Amino acid sequence: MSERFAAAAGRNVVSRASAETLGDLAHVVVEINPPRVVQLVVGKGRNALLVAWADVSGFGPDAVMLADEGSLHQPLDEREEAAAKGKLELIGKRVLSDMGNDLGKITDIVFDPATGLIETIVLDEHEEPAASLVGVGSFAAVLRTSTD
């Protein structure tokens, strides 16, 4: 079953080992080839931590489960620092076509909670398949809309 990030944002992130809440899901970090969630950002601001998607043991309707709190880490490089600050967040990001046209903003992403694969990118007034995502930067995301 697919999951919408807008519905998952703010969900508790919990350690299976201690049953303690480690924070709230703030952002997802994506890769584009293939389009998938690769990390979660837990918490906001200076307290934001990251966890690799591979360390997520369950993504349920009430909580995101990690094996233990050792899966969380401080940003390790500039890309992770940008992710922790929300600069790579897709939701709310401006979208340009590969021809340079403004397509609006991303309002949601639909992904598979078992694999992290992104299925659909939801824009202001329509949806695009995740395979059309060709780039994500601090300014905008780029979607392929031209045909070869």
- Domains assigned to the chain: 3-84 (2.30.30.240), 94-143 (2.30.30.240)
All residue ranges of the chain with pLDDT < 50 are: none
Two tokens, residue 4: 């919408």
pLDDT, tens digit (0-9, with 9 covering 90-100), for 12-51: 999 999 999 999 999 888 888 899 999 999 998 888 999 9
Single pTM value for the model:
0.86
What is the percent of the chain with per-residue pLDDT over 90, rounded to a whole number?
57
Task: Say what the pLDDT of residue 82 is.
Answer: 87
Q: Could you tell me where the beta strands, DSSP code E, fall in the chain?
A: 3-4, 12-15, 21-32, 35-42, 49-52, 56-59, 63-66, 94-97, 102-111, 118-123, 127-129, 133-136, 140-143
Task: Say what the pLDDT of residue 147 is.
Answer: 61
